[in-house]
Amino acid sequence: MGNNSTFAILSNNKVFGWGSSKSGKLGFEFSEGKNYDLPREIISLSNFPIFQIAAGSFHTLLLTKDGKLLVMGNSKDGKLGLNFENQNLI
């Protein structure tokens, strides 16, 4: 659970998120700043077997079962560990 957002990994490997989508931390396209009261599937993660999720105030880190690290959210000031600024990266 992150700051104002929550995630769930189902047994069928689907990932759902809800709460604040500020900075793209929920991974939904074109939902900047919108709040989601109900869980919504994060379709962009459907091809990744997610094992663990760590959510922060402006970004989310996802670890796959095969050890890959995925990031989404605000990359400003190096929050995503990338050398460029973009949002909603997966």
pLDDT of res. 65 = 94
pTM score: 0.77
- pLDDT band for position 8 (50/70/90)? very high
Give the whole-angstrom CA distance, residue 76 versus residue 65: 27
pLDDT digits (tens, 9 = 90+) for 17-47: 998 887 778 877 665 668 889 999 999 899 9
Residue with tokens 């190096």: 78
Domain residue extents for the chain: 5-78
pLDDT digits (tens, 9 = 90+) for 50-88: 999 998 888 888 999 999 988 887 766 555 665 555 444
Residue 26 burial (10 A CB sphere; 0-12, 13-18, 19+)? buried
Residue 48 predicted with pLDDT over 60: yes
